[in-house]
């Protein structure tokens, strides 16, 4: 076996060990409104999503999807920031500087919703859909 093959096998073994460590690592983060918590592995796989009961009542229901996405993104950013130095060390690279993950500012409630440009004809406007009901949306011109 050549030195190159030994080096490759050693790197594969180290990569496998790192992958196992990342799979066992947990990172959690919250949405800016503190109503959603996401837990991911060091591999950025979503393991758990916790939604505070307050998110299901009142004005927050319309922003729940955004809060979920924000919490998952924050947890994955934390996992990436934690694992990147280990991955770079495996390949002998210096880590790039990353922004420090932190909670985003909570949304500021307003009296009127922000005006949006109309969606193109071939796209659905998910802002107008209610994902919490079992009712079918009304048909409109052959579309939902």
In sequence order, the 6+-apart residues with CB closer than 8 A to the CB of 44 are 76, 79, 80
Rounded to whole angstroms, the Cα distance separating 29 from 103 reads 8
pLDDT of residue 94: 64
pLDDT of residue 26: 97
Residue with tokens 């796209």: 123
Rounded to whole angstroms, the Cα distance separating 36 from 69 reads 9
Rounded to whole angstroms, the Cα distance separating 102 from 31 reads 9
pLDDT of residue 119: 43
Q: How confident is the model at residue 125 (pLDDT cuts 50, 70, 90)?
A: low
The CATH number of domain 13-97 is 3.30.1310.10: yes
Query: pLDDT digit string (tens) for 99-116?
Result: 555 555 444 444 444 444
Query: pLDDT digit string (tens) for 37-66?
Result: 999 999 999 999 999 988 877 666 778 899
pLDDT of residue 98: 55
**What is the pLDDT averaged over residues 20-39?**
95
pLDDT of residue 109: 43
H or E stretch including 133?
none
pLDDT of residue 63: 83
Contact between 44 and 31 under an 8 Å Cβ cutoff? The reply is no
Question: Is residue 27 pLDDT above 90, yes or no?
Answer: yes
Which one, of 17, 95, 91, 78, lies nearest residue 44 by Cα? Answer: 78
pLDDT of residue 129: 52
Q: Which ranges constitute the DSSP H helices of 25-142?
A: 64-90
Question: Is residue 20 pLDDT above 90, yes or no?
Answer: yes
Summary mean pLDDT of the chain: 75
Rounded to whole angstroms, the Cα distance separating 122 from 120 reads 6
Name the residue ranges covered by the structural domains of the chain: 13-97
Residue bearing the bigger pLDDT, 15 or 128: 15
Contact between 71 and 32 under an 8 Å Cβ cutoff? The reply is no
Q: Is the dihedral of CA 139, 140, 142, 144 positive or negative?
A: negative
Q: What share of the chain is helix, strand, coil (3-state, %, to 5)?
A: 45, 15, 45
Residue bearing the bigger pLDDT, 85 or 130: 85
Residue 9 has which token pair? 């096998």
């Amino acid at each position: 076996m050549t030195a190159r093959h030994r080096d490759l096998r050693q790197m594969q073994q180290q990569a496998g060990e790192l992958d196992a460590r990342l799979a066992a690592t947990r990172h959690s983060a919250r949405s800016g409104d503190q109503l959603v918590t996401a837990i991911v592995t060091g591999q950025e796989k979503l393991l758990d999503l916790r939604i505070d009961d307050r998110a299901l009542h009142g004005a927050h229901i319309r922003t729940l999807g955004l809060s979920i996405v924000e919490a998952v993104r924050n947890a994955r950013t934390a996992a990436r920031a934690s694992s990147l130095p280990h991955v770079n060390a495996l390949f002998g690279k210096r880590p790039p500087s990353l922004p420090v993950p932190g909670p985003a500012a909570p949304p500021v409630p307003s009296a009127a919703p922000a005006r949006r440009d109309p969606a193109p004809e071939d796209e659905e406007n998910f802002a107008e859909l209610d994902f919490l009901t079992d009712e079918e949306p009304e048909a409109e011109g052959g579309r939902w």
